[in-house]
Structure 1
């Protein structure tokens, strides 16, 4: 008879067995966190035992679906891994598909309500509630279409029992005075609202919820014909970061009697540029340092101009390249991130406006520290990179996530441009064997990336004498390798992925 084989993965089986040997004694930690053996040298035990802090760092790199197995290994691991496993919870599970021939509305069945109540009771239990940092209340349908008022009200009433809650994400819930009263009492720094509406007449006159970071996930079409819920969550005395996908937030900013002097980061859809409230809204945010524009299907003409007195402290811009000069020119620009792939000629034209080729008033050429852009071309033109080297002598970080280049193309590119003596961080995408639509094992893909780095290392140091960090992106799954250069020996060491 063949011995029974375990279905657990060999790597994790070995890890768990070794972990038990290092950290537990029958699943129970000793007072010093070490396992004592008769006749063993206590100093050897100390040297061979991994501290709990190190295990927590290891567990942070394990996906949640595997972290559950870690909590079932022993009581010591359960105590260490459980706070990570339940750091982010969702009160409403995904609605299961009904059986063929059975009609039902998501969220209305007694079985689904029972599942929600059971999950809520578990997450808010004394054993779990202290681990929760992020809570997501996401209904499968808008609450007006679900029979879930009492369930959601019960969840809101239980939120104060999560002592370490730092962020709340709401989707499809109804905003009521009772729930806003609960939110105001929680004093959370971060909240997110996705298609959450309410009768604004009932909320009129109520003080805004004191949030430092708020996200509004509404489209203009979804909010058309309804009162905007944005003013209820925009507190001029507290707001520091605002993310929005609707232009209706501009009305709330522009009509505020008190300026948002704490607001530092502003993320808006590209359609805001065509709104008549855009400049007025920005004028109420005098301390904004970072602005980002979402790329959408509709973008206004590139002749947008920003008055000199608006956003005087702006340092960073992320969005389509067309508007980079409009936001950063005549300001102390430090970071530019182009979020939409563009043609090299178009990017070079936008950069020319930024570094002052057409006028002598721009100071970006001497202040820009970080630049990132993807290209639609099959290569990186040497004239474009050479222009960047000359135009931005103080640039310290350069990232070009697209296109992918082979080692020979990287060497040819670096040898064709003048040296840049201030750059310390470089990110490029390299071309691997996956370009032939082949699946390459991760270990082999990483080895190919390391081989590519070895081929271009000398050219990198020659073109960028001050280089300290190099990151190569590869594959279609977001993999990367990172090298760090020693300041004493000048040698590169691979430090992570």
Structure 2
């Protein structure tokens, strides 16, 4: 019986007991991946086991809060799983809020500085540094407002001691020449900057860093009057993925002498549609395949149009449904993800522009493979789902994360629409007992979801004969159940949560 203070989780107890037998003799992992029983026992057998490399791949999919349980299973697992606990580190802990009436600037107290120094010494120690893959330097306040300049300089000086570092996230730090020199020496593929600024004289004329993925978390109001750091980190010859929440990035893209021919994924705020540099910036990114627009408080009119020669290889769009046709028309549209809940009638009007109801727009009925959208209504209208079935016969994946439906509503919906013979993946949200504002134990909520699947299974197979994967979302904490259908027997098996 486990002691009361044990951190093990019942969900993994059976797996760990079985894994202990497969991987260890007294907790020692077999170097050959096998364990042999020897001696006079006539039942001596040889057990094939998983090599250490595969166990590491398994552990990478376990949440961090459960990894401690893995390390306590046996000595073999402890050696394999412990480094994953420090794969992502943060040099600055979250600063506790001061008591009411106490005036104190976060980050200036000696106690907080001591905590940062202790964390840095631990993470950069020889025993830990090799495990670090992602490092986050996040000051609780902008560096101009807290006494942390020498502390941050010390952390930057220690970054080269992380030999396996792959990504760096910076927040509220100054981009000084010394720190930029350190970043250039690191040669990292991924960097993220959140409200990090520098002097115009320090950034002017500096060559861009060869980054493959860059994230800029700035608002236009925060960067107004500041030197834009974007040109320093955008390399036309290396950049593959760009995430930005500011329109200032458009200036850097549009003014580049060399096109960004490696850029494949572009994520921008919705305000970019109203910028005079937007089309020019997109024209410098001819190979972009995936574009996403953040939904913001301000969006331009839905009559935005994209010239035919811009983004000729675009395959995927994520954002408000109003602009889906503007980006995907006359292109081989394969994926459409609506990120903002919308009214069914408004969504149907936008989809009509994709499947060629309007003569001026070419249809995407034979190319769209994946469609996802949330609705603001209390149900999914059968005419809307029927239109999707008819308009997109090659659709293979459909996800409707909202609204939540009961088993009877799902059955009625599926029985009212024509069959779709190409769909293989379906995601729906089901309505549980939590709709009565009750807290339902996770095990009972999962059982309710499984019961709902049993009630609608026949209707699912009738409407979607080629269905292979079904996922039901439930609860307010993002829980889900996943079923997979065997291609030989046609039976569904629950494969995960």
What TM-score, normalized by structure 2, do the two folds share?
0.92
Change (3 A) 1:457 1:327: same
Question: Cα–Cα, structure 1 residues 5 and 377, in superposed 2: closer, same or farther, change >3 Å?
Answer: closer
| CA distance 1:117–1:75, shift in 2 (3 Å) | farther
Instruction: Give, in whole Å, the separation in 1 of the partners of 2:492 and 2:26.
Output: 44
Are the aligned partners of 1:132 and 1:164 in contact in 2 as well (CA < 8 Å)?
Answer: yes
Contact 2:36 2:44 (8 Å CA) reproduced? no
Deviations 1:221-268 (A, max 9, x none): 111111211111111111010000111111111111111111111100
Cα shift at 1:30: 6.4
Cα displacement (A) at 1:363: 3.3
> For residues 101 and 320 of structure 1, do their structure 2 counterparts lie closer, same or farther at Cα, with a shift above 3 Å needed?
closer
Inter-partner Cα distance in structure 2 for 1:474 and 1:212 = 37
- Number of the residue aligned with 1:65: 65
Separation of aligned partners in 2, 1:171 and 1:3: 41
Shift of 1:450: 1.3
Q: Answer with 94-103 or 297-306: which moved more.
A: 94-103
For 1:14 and 1:365, locate their aligned partners in 2 and report how far apart those are by CA, in whole Å. 47
Distance 1:359-1:77 versus aligned 2 partners, 3 A rule:
same
Shift of 1:275: 0.9
Residue 39 of structure 1: CA displacement? 4.5
Shift of 1:476: 1.0
Could you list the per-position Cα deviations for residues 416-453 of structure 1 after superposition, in whole angstroms to 9, with x for gaps in the alignment? 11111111111111111111111111111111111111
Q: Within the alignment, does 1:166 sit opposite 2:166 as a pair?
A: yes
Deviation, 1:132, is 0.6
> Is the Cα–Cα contact under 8 Å of residues 331 and 363 in structure 1 kept in the other structure?
no
> 2:53, 2:43 → 1: CA distance?
20
Structure 1 unaligned residues grouped into runs of 5+: none
Deviation digits for residues 438-475 of structure 1, max 9, x if unmatched? 11111111111111111111111111111111111111
Deviations 1:369-422 (A, max 9, x none): 111111111111111111111111111111111111111111111111111111
Aligned equivalents of 1:294 and 1:3: distance in 2?
48
| CA displacement 1:68-109 (0-9 Å, x = unmatched) | 354466543331111110000001111234467764321122
- The answer to whether structure 1 residue 374 and structure 2 residue 368 are counterparts is no
Matched with 2:434 is 434
- Once structures 1 and 2 are overlaid, which stretch shifts more, 98-107 or 25-34? 25-34
The alpha-carbon distance between structure 1 residues 307 and 48, as it changes in their structure 2 partners (threshold 3 A), is closer
CA distance in 1 between counterparts of 2:350 and 2:14 reads 55
Sort the Cα spacing of 1:495 and 1:157 in 2 relative to 1 into closer, same or farther, 3 A. Answer: same
The CA distance in 2 between the partners of 1:312 and 1:154, in whole Å, is: 47
Moved more, 304-313 or 39-48: 39-48
- State whether residues 33 and 48 of structure 2, in contact with CA within 8 Å, keep that contact through their aligned partners in structure 1: no
* C-alpha distance 45-220 of structure 1, shift in aligned 2 (>3 A): farther
What is the CA-CA distance between 1:121 and the residue it aligns to?
Answer: 1.4
Q: CA 1:118–1:45 in structure 2 vs 1: closer, same or farther (change >3 Å)?
A: farther
Deviation at 1:2, TM superposition (A): 16
Deviation track 1:300-344 (CA, whole Å, cap 9, x = no partner) reads 111111111111111110000000011111111111000001000
Give the superposition deviation at 1:28. Answer: 5.5
| Aligned residues of 1:332 and 1:363 also touching (Cα < 8 A) | no
Cα contact 1:139–1:172 (8 A) shared by 2 = yes
Call closer, same or farther: CA 1:66–1:44 in 2, change over 3 Å: farther
Moved more, 469-478 or 31-40: 31-40
Q: CA 1:69/1:454 → structure 2, altered by over 3 Å: closer, same or farther? A: closer
DSSP 3-state at the match of 2:164: coil
Kindly state the Cα deviation for residue 63 of structure 1 after the two structures are TM-superposed: 3.7
Rounded to whole Å, the distance in 2 between the matches of 1:381 and 1:455 is 20
CA spacing shift, 1:25–1:307, aligned 2, 3 Å: same
CA contact (8 A) 1:422 1:466 kept: yes
For structure 2, list consecutive stretches of 5 or more residues without a partner in the other structure.
Answer: none
User: RMSD of the TM alignment (CA)?
Assistant: 2.8
Change in CA separation of 1:208 and 1:42 when aligned onto 2, cut-off 3 Å: farther
The answer on whether the counterparts of 1:271 and 1:300 sit within 8 Å (CA) in structure 2 is yes
- C-alpha separation in 1, matches of 2:9 and 2:94: 28
Secondary structure, counterpart of 1:43 in structure 2: coil
Call closer, same or farther: CA 1:42–1:434 in 2, change over 3 Å: farther
Asked whether the 8 Å contact 1:423–1:467 carries over to 2, the reply is yes
SS in 1 for 2:99: coil
Number of equivalenced pairs: 497
Q: Decide which moves more: 191-200 or 35-44.
A: 35-44
CA contact (8 A) 1:34 1:45 kept: no
CA distance in 2, matches of 1:371, 1:256: 34
CA, structure 1 residues 360+461, in 2 after alignment: closer, same or farther (shift >3 Å)? Answer: farther
Q: Equivalent residue of 2:214, what SS?
A: strand
Give, in whole Å, the separation in 2 of the partners of 1:99 and 1:369.
54
The Cα of 1:294 is off from its aligned counterpart by 0.5
Residues 10/467 of structure 1: CA separation in 2 closer, same or farther (3 Å cut): closer
> Aligned partners of 2:126 and 2:5: how far apart in 1?
38
The alpha carbon displacement at 1:8 in A equals: 7.0
Q: How has the CA–CA distance of structure 1 residues 450 and 236 changed in structure 2, closer, same or farther, with 3 Å as cutoff?
A: same
Change (3 A) 1:395 1:35: closer
